[in-house]
């Protein structure tokens, strides 16, 4: 950021005067609280934040933040967020989206935003269902899930958001959960510090249409044994007693004692190791990886565009819209 503030913000400073209207018990409340807590720590004036959202329950987010924001249309938040960051480089731009919004109608926009490495923080609320439109299956719904649009069970193969982000070349990829605020805030702090597209998937519970979707993985009573936290430079250990570990074996992973656990390196240029860990989700008998999958440095699209425009202006001048319109062939319609 080119402008900081010495004033200390707190969560209340970032809360708008709008009534927060999600269903009682919705995981969105926890995410909102964590985002406000982390933003307050960043030393950025609140008028330097911009929250962009698409459509869905999660996308009400801008109304509840006392910052600049834009509630856009279904799937198009990446396009708007890209334009905002290019035009306003000093803004800290955050994109709020859901599994349906960003992986279905907005899937093409999402992968290209990640590929381009636009300097935007992307928080994907994944509840494996369409909540706002009342319970249809989504691109992340597990096979067999019975919903209003799949009454006999879904026969689709679901997207793995982490694998998708890695495949698109995202420079920062992480996963957290709504039931673990400390982990979520630590993950969001890392995302906020990253220059480039920072993609964070949040396992989020929809209490009305898909209640308990992740309970067997991230429920407080089981998460120590059912998840392992990827921390850069730390061994991949887990378990209530920290006695279990993960290491790579060929093109897969194996589960060993904590003393044999491999040290995780999120800065590897290749995404292969991160993909191996992301794909553990496919086996319900294996623990699920959360935390930081990838963090590498790369040029950002928005900065590249601004540098190119500045260079052209320097050599050719600022230009005029009329000259652009009449540069090539034109015709008159009568």
Structure tokens at 239: 């378990």
Long-range contacts of 22-25 (CB under 8 A, 24+ apart): 22/57, 22/60, 23/206, 23/207, 23/208, 24/207, 25/205, 25/207
Range of the domain at 169: 11-213+299-303
pLDDT digits (tens, 9 = 90+) for 271-315: 999 999 999 999 999 999 999 999 999 999 999 999 999 999 999
Which residues in the chain come in under a pLDDT of 50? 1-5
- Evaluate whether residue 314 is within a structural domain: no
How far apart (Å, rounded) are the C-alpha atoms in residues 226 and 208?
Answer: 24
> What is the pTM (predicted TM-score) of this model?
0.94
Residue with tokens 């093409």: 108
User: Cα separation of 306 and 312, whole Å?
Assistant: 10
Please check whether residue 105 lies inside any domain of the structure. yes
Task: For residue 58, tell me if it sits in a domain.
Answer: yes
Is 294 within a domain? no
Q: Could you give the number of structural domains in the chain?
A: 1
Q: Is residue 293 part of a domain?
A: no
Q: Per the domain annotation, does 266 fall within a domain?
A: no
Q: How many helices, marked H, and strands, marked E, lie in the chain?
A: 11, 11
Contacts of 326 (CB under 8 A, 6+ apart): none
Cβ 64 vs Cβ 32: under 8 Å: yes
Determine, yes or no, domain membership for 311: no
Q: For residues 137 and 209, what is the distance between their CA atoms, to the nearest angstrom?
A: 10
| 84 within 8 A of 151, measured Cβ to Cβ | no
The dihedral formed by the CA atoms of 246, 248, 249 and 250, expressed in degrees to the nearest 10: 160
pLDDT per position as a tens digit, 169-211: 999 999 999 999 999 999 999 999 999 999 999 999 999 999 9
Residue 300, Cβ density class (10 Å: 0-12 exposed, 13-18 middle, ≥19 buried)? buried
Torsion angle of C-alpha atoms 82, 10, 292, 107, degrees rounded to 10: -30
| Residue for token pair 């005029």 | 320
| Buried-state track 250-284, b at ≥16 Cβ within 10 A, e below 16 | eeebebbebeebbebebeeeebebbbbbbbbbeee
On whether residue 154 sits in a domain, the answer given is: yes
How far apart are alpha carbons 232 and 55 in whole angstroms?
34
Residue 7: the pLDDT is: 57
CATH number at residue 110: 3.40.50.970
């Amino acid at each position: 950021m080119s402008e900081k503030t010495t004033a200390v913000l707190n969560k209340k400073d970032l809360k708008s005067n709008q009534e927060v209207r999600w269903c009682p018990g919705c995981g969105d409340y926890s995410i909102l609280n964590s985002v406000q807590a982390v933003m307050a720590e960043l030393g950025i004036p609140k008028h330097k934040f911009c929250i962009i959202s698409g459509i869905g329950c999660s996308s009400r987010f801008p109304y509840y933040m006392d910052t600049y924001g834009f509630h856009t249309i279904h799937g198009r938040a990446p396009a708007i967020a890209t334009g905002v960051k290019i035009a306003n480089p000093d803004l800290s731009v955050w994109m709020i989206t859901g599994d349906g919004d960003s992986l279905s109608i907005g899937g093409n926009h999402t992968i290209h935003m990640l590929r381009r490495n636009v300097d935007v923080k992307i928080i994907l609320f994944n509840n494996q269902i369409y909540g706002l439109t009342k319970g249809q299956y989504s691109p992340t719904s597990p096979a067999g899930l019975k919903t209003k649009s799949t009454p006999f069970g879904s026969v689709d193969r679901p997207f793995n958001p982490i694998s998708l982000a890695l495949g698109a070349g995202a420079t920062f990829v992480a996963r957290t959960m709504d039931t673990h605020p400390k982990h979520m805030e630590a993950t969001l702090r890392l995302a906020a510090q990253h220059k480039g597209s920072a993609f964070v998937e949040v396992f989020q519970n929809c209490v009305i249409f898909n209640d308990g979707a992740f309970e067997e993985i991230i429920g407080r009573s089981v998460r120590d044994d059912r998840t392992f936290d990827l921390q850069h430079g730390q061994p991949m250990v887990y378990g209530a007693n920290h006695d279990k570990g993960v290491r790579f074996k060929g093109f897969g992973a194996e589960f060993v004692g904590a003393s044999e656990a491999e040290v995780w390196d999120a800065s590897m240029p290749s995404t292969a190791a991160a993909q191996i860990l992301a794909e553990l989700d496919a086996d319900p008998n294996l623990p699920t990886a959360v935390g930081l999958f990838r963090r590498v440095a790369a040029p950002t699209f928005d900065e590249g565009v601004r540098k190119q425009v500045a260079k052209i202006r320097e050599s050719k001048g600022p230009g005029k819209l009329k000259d652009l319109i009449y540069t090539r062939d034109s015709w008159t319609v009568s």
